[in-house]
Amino acid sequence: MAVAAAQRVDSLVTDPASGELRRRTDYAGTVWYGGRPQLHAGRHPLPGDTAAQIGSSFWLPDSHVYVAAAAESVQVQATASVQGGLATSGGGNLLILDVGAGLDANPHDSGTTLVYVTVNAAASLPFGVAYRVIAICAPEAVRTPAA
């Protein structure tokens, strides 16, 4: 599995109900299962017979570090779509069955959390899944590098 993050977008928004400031972070990218396909001289690689049931979680490589005590108040939403896959003339299934995201303990820094994504899919490999995650929280829930 290879994760290729797009540029992360951060903004301050106002909660319409409370009027409080919230930090909104949009994460996006593509996760490739079975390797990222390469084009050679304008031709696609030949299809393989590798069908896979995909059930994996991965850390977002560009995740903010969130304060663990504030993790329960962070709202997280995830969507996914087929980014790339190879369907042969005999047909093929490229199915994303489920996608989710959340925060969990940072394996490198106790007391903080990171954003992860979980994908369940069925496809022929290689297979690319485009993901988008939105996280909304109080501005102080994100640990700044100086903290």
Which of 61, 69, 54 is CA-nearest to residue 115?
61
- List strand residue ranges (DSSP E) for 44-126, in order: 51-59, 66-67, 75-85, 95-105, 112-124
Average pLDDT over residues 88-104: 81
Cα dihedral 64, 65, 68, 72, rounded to 10, equals 0
Buried b (16+ CB within 10 A) or exposed e, 26-40: ebbbbbbbbeebeee
Radius of gyration of the chain (CA): 18
Which of 76, 72, 53 is CA-nearest to residue 63?
76
Give tens-digit pLDDT for 9-57.
Answer: 999 999 999 999 999 999 999 999 988 877 665 555 555 557 788 999 9
Cβ count within 10 A of residue 3: 16
User: Residue 40 corresponds to which tokens in the numbers above?
Assistant: 């050679």
Give every CB contact of residue 98 below 8 A, 6+ residues apart in sequence. Answer: 118, 119, 120
Give tens-digit pLDDT for 69-94.
Answer: 999 999 999 999 988 766 554 556 78
Which of 61, 1, 75 is CA-nearest to residue 27?
61
Average pLDDT over residues 57-62: 96
Question: Contact 38/85 with Cβ under 8 angstroms?
Answer: no
- Measured in degrees and rounded to the nearest 5, phi and psi for residue 141 equal -75, -20
Average pLDDT over residues 95-108: 94
